[in-house]
Structure 1
Amino acid sequence: MDSFSFQIPTQIHVGRGKIQDLRNVKLPGKKPVIVTSGTSIKKFGYLDTLRIILSELQIESVIFDSVVQNPTKRNVEEIVEVFRENQCDFLIGFGGGSSIDAAKAAAAMLTNEGDLWDYVQIGTGKRKAFVHDPIPLIAIPTTAGTGTEGNATAVITNEATGEKVGIGCCFPRISLVDPELTINISPKYTAFQGFDALFHCMEAFIAKKAIPISNPLALDGVKIIFNNLATAVNHGENMDARSNMAWGATLGGMVICLSSCTTAHNIEHSLSGIKPAVVHGAGLIIISSAFHRLGAKRIPEKYAALADAIGISMPNQTIQEKAHAFLDAFEQLKFDCGVGKLCLRDYGFLESDFDEIIEKSHVIAGGAFSRDLYEITDSDLRTMLLESF
């Protein structure tokens, strides 16, 4: 066995009602900025719940509720300004992955000098290393998708360059994963978020950086999501499905920390960097059929193992037959969740955009193209885009 190392220092609390655990954990300060996108957590009373708990603990809080769908460098700068102006001492990322990611990046920039893009390792970034530990952060996701509560990465878009990149900057000190906070997510967004979590698990398993501790977690995440996503989408009130999806998403966040994502994520970041209206999960769904068809041809043994994980393998099947069975089940899951027909044209892409998408995929990737177990050429990328068009 090859040697390997890993670290996931976040204290994670998982289960229904876990937002109430704020009463029992050791908080890292006395005055947080609550970072969120605002609308849903106010509409459904989640923000009130959080502020009541903090008030009972005699914790004064400040709200920043302007995080956009694909959080921007400017969002991060604004959070830093609010934090300093109000003399706060820790952060709470509360909401979807966008809110938590923006809070992560702000936490790092509050203790490190310069511009956020000084610390970006690809594209126009200056490739510096963070010198100081970030401001303490508590993550409370209200979606089941990104898994950002289980890793150090923040995905941020630079509005000036169109680069959407992952920045390794801040593990949350504490993460509270409460599936009751996901009960009001619409079917469409439940699907988008759930497939993001599924892709994290799948990609972590098929990536070159997979290690012995990541593989069983990734396969367990794939099994959990396959067994629960369609129910969560079509019967959103089902708390068992919601609870399982919340844990599956957290597993997805952890395994991409232990392993990595693959080129599929680079392509999607290119898509939503060019057109920020593209929801991350939707972009991944759009290119997923073409990407995984290629993968099943190049590394069928990995896809056969995915078939084994979800329990659809039959006696005497060949590796190739198992791989194709998995692809069939994967396509059926997309249709069961109402997202089987998504395509690039839905978001206004043209074939004339392909060169830019491919170019930005390479810029965003940095060295990530080497994380696939097989070579992916520009010709392969163009074929994927055509098949996803």
Structure 2
Amino acid sequence: MTRFELAIPGDVRFGGGRLSEVPDALAGWGARRVLLVTGRSPDRAAALVEGLQTRGLVVTRYAVSGEPSIQVVRDGVAAAAGCDAVVGFGGGSAIDVAKAVAVLAVRGADPLEHLEVIGAGRPITAAGLPCVAIPTTAGTGSEVTRNSVLSGDGVKASLRSPLMLPRLAVVDPDLLLGVPVATIAASGMDALAQLIEPFLSRKANPVTDALARDGIVRSARSLRRARRDGMVDPSVREDLAIASLFGGLCLANAGLGAVHGFAAALGARLGAPHGAVCAAVLAPAIKVNLRAARRVRDRSAVTWFADLAVLLTGNPTARPEAAAGWLTELTTALQIPGLRTYGLTDADTAEVVAAAQRASSMKGNPIELTDDEVAEILARAT
């Protein structure tokens, strides 16, 4: 008998222009002072700030310039003093910091109290400040997930709890206008990975399967166009925004796999953007996973790869191998750099393989990979 659970925010709003609804939502909750967490370009939030202030809300701003870290969250908790709501506006880093600050600021807790792997890992039991998540890149899907990924001690680990789901997620495709093409490429590949890995996951369920199928098709038909032409076409913006949203819902409810196992192992080590690591690893991971499925004679898994190939290529007779081939061609078309660009060397292989194998994301990988197979993925991604 099929059994599954779904964890999603209580209010998800999608559509062009829906950013304008945020001030009224916050005011309706009784918020008076808001911590606004942005990325490295806080000016992009000018219209939101104006709307909040017009509604009578006091705005405290906190900019996150890079990947989220334990110290960045500590500083954010300090900045939230006196605030009664938190808004994350930006890419996955800004939103992850906003979610972490919202849940920790209520009692001034330190991230290490609850952080997995490198912290005490204590369960989060108290609701945080109301949190609004507003993505401005089509990548992480963090606006609908229940964790926040932070770096520390050379690794990445998560704060994780259903209490970290934002109270409101607003996905406005118009916010993708003006996003740099390199960001479009890396974020788009990250979103695609977050659709493909849950689709292939051992923890997939009928809901995530349906969302992943739709999202993969949308990403496949629009990501190259976005890299070539930018986000000028509204249909492209909508496709990639939906793909990212669906990817977040899928990963939150069906898990991930080897691609994100490497992201956990390499993100803090290399200082590389999360999306860039996922983009470099995706095609090699699919290629090696298919061969591993055949090694263990898992016919069901091989069928999933065949389904993936059909979704990506649009060819109803596509062979399973076509998925990795199509993704390799996409990686080239999007000008995704290899991991050596970020300083990875052959001397790092043993430590990276061990770290990737320990990553929680590996639990959802369709096949249990050997160390040699994991090392091959890494070599192909350099």
- Alignment TM-score, normalising by the size of structure 2: 0.92
Distance in 1, matches of 2:353 and 2:107, equals 33
Give the residue type in structure 2 aligned to 1:150.
V
Question: What is the deviation of 1:113?
Answer: 5.9
**Are positions 1:356 and 2:348 aligned together?**
no
Aligned to 1:302: 304
Task: Name the residue aligned to 1:257.
Answer: 252
| 1:329 aligned residue (320, 326, 329) | 326
Secondary structure of residue in 2 paired with 1:265? helix
Written as runs of structure 1 = structure 2, the 5 A alignment for 1:28-67 is: 28=29, 29-39=31-41, 41-42=42-43, 46-65=44-63, 67=64
Relative distance call for 1:8 and 1:292 in structure 2 (3 A) is: same
Give the counterpart letter for 2:168 in structure 1: I
Residue of structure 2 aligned with 1:168, choices 150, 156, 160: 160
Unpaired segments ≥5 residues, structure 1: none
**Matching of residue 3 in structure 1 with residue 29 in structure 2:** no
Q: 1:171 to 1:289 in 2, by over 3 A?
A: same
Distance 1:10 1:202 in 2: 25
Q: Which residue in the other structure is 2:148 paired with?
A: 154
Counterpart secondary structure, 2:226: helix
Distance 1:113 1:55 in 2: 26
- 2:14 maps to what in 1? 14
Match of 2:102 among 101, 107, 110: 107
Superposed displacement of residue 337, structure 1: 2.1
Q: Secondary structure at the match of 1:167?
A: strand
Cα shift at 1:331? 2.0
Matches within 5 A, 1:217-236: 217-236=211-230
Residue 70 in 1 paired to residue 67 in 2?
Answer: yes
Corresponding residue for residue 187 of structure 1: 181
Unpaired runs of 5+ in structure 2? 294-300
Q: Does 1:177 align with 2:171?
A: yes
Deviation at 1:357, TM superposition (A): 1.1
The one-letter code matched in structure 1 to 2:19 is I
Identity %: 25
Equivalent residue for 2:297? none
Q: Is the 8 A contact 2:9 2:144 kept in 1?
A: no
Residue 381, structure 1, aligned to residue 378, structure 2: no
Q: Secondary structure at the residue paired with 1:139?
A: strand
Secondary structure of the residue aligned to 1:25 is helix
1:369 paired residue among 362, 370, 375: 362
Which stretch shifts more, 8-17 or 212-221?
8-17
Distance 2:323 2:376 in 1: 21
C-alpha deviation, 1:199, in angstroms: 0.2
Alignment correspondent of 2:132: 138
- Cα distance between partner residues in 2 of 1:114 and 1:55: 29
Q: Deviations over 1:68-124 (max 9, x none)?
A: 32111111111111111xx111100011110010011111111356421221232x2
- The answer to whether the 8 Å contact 1:232/1:241 transfers is yes
Please say if residues 89 and 135 of structure 2, whose CA atoms lie closer than 8 Å, have aligned partners that are also in contact. Answer: yes
Distance in 2 (alpha carbons) for counterparts of 1:329 and 1:13: 32
Which whole-Å deviations, capped at 9, do the CAs of 1:218-269 have from their partners, x for residues lacking one?
Answer: 1111111111111111111222201211111011111111111112101122
Q: Quick one: which amino acid aligns to residue 334 of structure 1?
A: T
Distance (whole Å) between structure 1 residues aligned to residue 26 and residue 73 of structure 2: 26
User: Per-residue deviation at 1:52?
Assistant: 1.1
- Deviations along 1:136-180, one digit per CA (max 9) or x if unpaired, are 10111111101111111211111xx11212322411111111111
Matched AA of 1:3: R
Separation in structure 2 between the aligned mates of residue 296 and residue 312 of structure 1, nearest angstrom: 19
Q: Using a 3 Å threshold, how does the CA distance of structure 1 residues 215 and 112 change in structure 2: closer, same or farther? A: farther
TM-score (norm 1): 0.90
| Cα offset, 1:56, TM superposition | 1.5
Residue 23 and residue 74 in structure 1: after superposition, are their counterparts in 2 closer, same or farther (change >3 A)?
Answer: closer
